[in-house]
Amino acid sequence: MQRLTNLIWAEMMRAWLELVRYPLQIAFGLLLVGLIFYLLLGFANLAGVATSNQAQLTRLLVGYLLAMIALGVISNPAQQVSKEAKSGTLENMVLSGQGLTMFFVVQTLARFWLTLIQFGLLFVVIANLAKVSYTLSWQVIPAFILFLITALGLGLAVGALMLLFKDVNNIFVLVQLMVFPALIAELPQLEWFPLVLGASVIREILLGGTVEPFQWTLLALGTVATYSLGVFLFQTADVAARRRGLLGHE
């Protein structure tokens, strides 16, 4: 337990030190996210979407920021696997006794607090600039936590592929092609995507609507299923990689 606590603290401090050391990179990154949203508004207007509608504008902003957050969470385990494999420390992590799954889950969550603050501030700034109306409620907290855990489960599944095959960068292109249309455009063809229900519940809460108990139940069950599947796939890939001696390979 002490080693796990030390790991959480170390990853939180590393995220903070990166912010202090590279402040312009973080600032320009957030500026880029904001500019992309305004370009998205321009494309939406060209496509005939009524962005002057406050509810539609709120849905667009929330979907966009949730998509960006989800992509960060999904890509983090795979990126860390690639980074550790290139530095030759992946085998050492296995021998540490924590296990790869626990390490990457803790690492993702410990470093996420800073991202959450940044995107929270970005949401407030963009909402005020674009005159987006929204309603804050305590219910958005459990909904967002379930959304985050679902994204983490998908991230572990992608990380499992990286653990076995190392060079599968095209999977990130596929993830982006799934996440953006599902969360921003809300395409009917992607209603089955695991993150869609969580994003829908968060939108409904921020728009001041009521979320039915049945939706909460479906969201909770879907989160458990997605995260459990992600853990199973990652641990299975971990065992397979050890047997095949792939942990030390790039």
Q: What is the pLDDT of residues 20-69, one digit of tens each?
A: 777 777 777 777 777 777 777 766 665 555 555 677 788 888 888 899 89
Residue 28: is it exposed, middle or buried by C-beta count within 10 angstroms (0-12/13-18/19+)? exposed
What are the DSSP calls for 102-168, one per residue? HHHHHHHHHHHHHHHHHHHHHHHHHHHHTT------TTHHHHHHHHHHHHHHHHHHHHHHHHHHS--
Residue type, 68: M
State the DSSP string of 100-116.
HHHHHHHHHHHHHHHHH
Walk along the chain (250 residues) and give the pLDDT tens digit of each residue. 666 677 677 777 777 777 777 777 777 777 777 777 777 776 666 555 555 567 778 888 888 889 989 988 888 887 777 776 666 566 556 555 566 777 778 777 777 777 788 788 888 888 887 777 788 888 999 999 999 999 999 999 988 888 887 666 678 888 888 898 888 878 888 888 999 999 999 999 998 888 899 999 999 999 999 999 999 999 898 888 778 766 655 5
Alpha-carbon distance of 229 to 26, in angstroms, equals 33
Both tokens of 159, joined, read: 């990380």
**CB 3: neighbour CB atoms within 10 A?**
10
Distances (CA, A) of 2 to 10, 13, 15, 98, 239: 12, 16, 20, 11, 25
Where in the chain are the domains? 2-244
Question: What pLDDT shows up at residue 80?
Answer: 76
Helix (H/G/I), strand (E/B), else coil: 48: coil
